[in-house]
């Protein structure tokens, strides 16, 4: 066996091992029951899916954890009446403090919709409510869209997720694998964006004062 082929096999094995290890870590984190927390922020964003997400976001809003709530990515045929029932909020509370977003079709769209909403209200911090397995990718997309915002994760465990031994449930395992492979490119994009911003900041810091805008004056 040539040294090049041996090196290629070793490299492939190392990459596969890292991929598998990464998945195990990912799955262990997102299937862990979320700890009780006491989040507070300017706004709440609920990324739609299972109705429990909306109900949990509404509970936080009703407890005064934030000023307003955005329900992002709502199906166009779902009206206020259905959302009001799912949320469990009083109608006056819903009317005053809940915004419904119909534009988003995926997680990246959720992030764009959230950015427009947060910017319009001048919000710098957000409680993010979504399914536990969806949280890592959601935070990555939101960090790309709102790099300066403080994001407070508030995961909701899906009803069909077992409290232990998720690997014994084929449907849960398939969901986790699919989400893991969606998360990886988003995480890579976020890492690249952070490195780029860091290099840009370093470049600006290294510009001599006489060449900077401040140095002109």
> Tell me: the pLDDT tens digits for 103-154?
999 999 999 999 999 999 999 999 999 999 999 999 999 999 999 999 999 9
Alpha-helical runs (H) found in 63-169: 80-87, 91-97, 107-121, 135-145
Detail the DSSP E strand segments found in the chain: 43-47, 68-72, 98-100, 125-131, 150-156
CB atoms within 10 A of CB 49: 14
CB atoms within 10 A of CB 102: 14
Task: Give me the residue spans of the domains in the chain.
Answer: 40-177+184-192
For helices 3-30 and 170-206, the axis angle rounded to 10 degrees is: 100
DSSP label of 36: P
pLDDT band at 13 (very low <50, low <70, confident <90, very high): confident
> Tell me: the pLDDT tens digits for 187-204?
999 999 988 887 776 655
The CATH architecture of the domain made up of 40-177+184-192 is 3-Layer(aba) Sandwich (3.40)
Please state the pTM of the whole predicted model. Answer: 0.85
> Tell me: the pLDDT tens digits for 37-56?
788 999 999 998 777 999 99
Cβ(145)–Cβ(118) below 8 Å? no
């Amino acid at each position: 066996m040539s040294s090049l082929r041996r090196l290629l096999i070793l490299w492939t094995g190392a990459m596969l091992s890292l991929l598998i290890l990464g998945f195990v870590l990912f799955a262990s984190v997102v299937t862990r029951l979320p700890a009780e927390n006491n989040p507070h922020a300017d706004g709440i964003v609920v990324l739609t899916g299972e109705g429990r997400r909306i109900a949990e976001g509404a509970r936080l809003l009703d407890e005064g954890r934030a000023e307003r709530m955005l329900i992002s990515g709502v199906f166009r045929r779902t009206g206020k009446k259905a959302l009001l029932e799912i949320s469990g909020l009083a109608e006056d509370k819903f009317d005053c403090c809940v915004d419904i977003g119909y534009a988003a079709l995926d997680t990246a769209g959720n992030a764009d919709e959230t950015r427009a909403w947060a910017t319009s209200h001048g919000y710098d911090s957000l409680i993010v409510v979504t399914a536990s397995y969806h949280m890592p990718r959601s935070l990555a997309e939101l960090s790309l869209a709102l790099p300066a915002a403080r994001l407070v994760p508030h995961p909701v465990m899906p009803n069909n997720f077992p409290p232990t031994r998720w690997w014994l449930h084929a449907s849960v395992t398939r969901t986790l694998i699919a989400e893991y492979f969606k998360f990886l490119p988003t995480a890579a994009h976020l890492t690249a964006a952070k490195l780029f911003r860091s290099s840009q900041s370093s470049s600006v810091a290294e510009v001599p004062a006489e060449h900077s805008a401040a140095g002109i004056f």
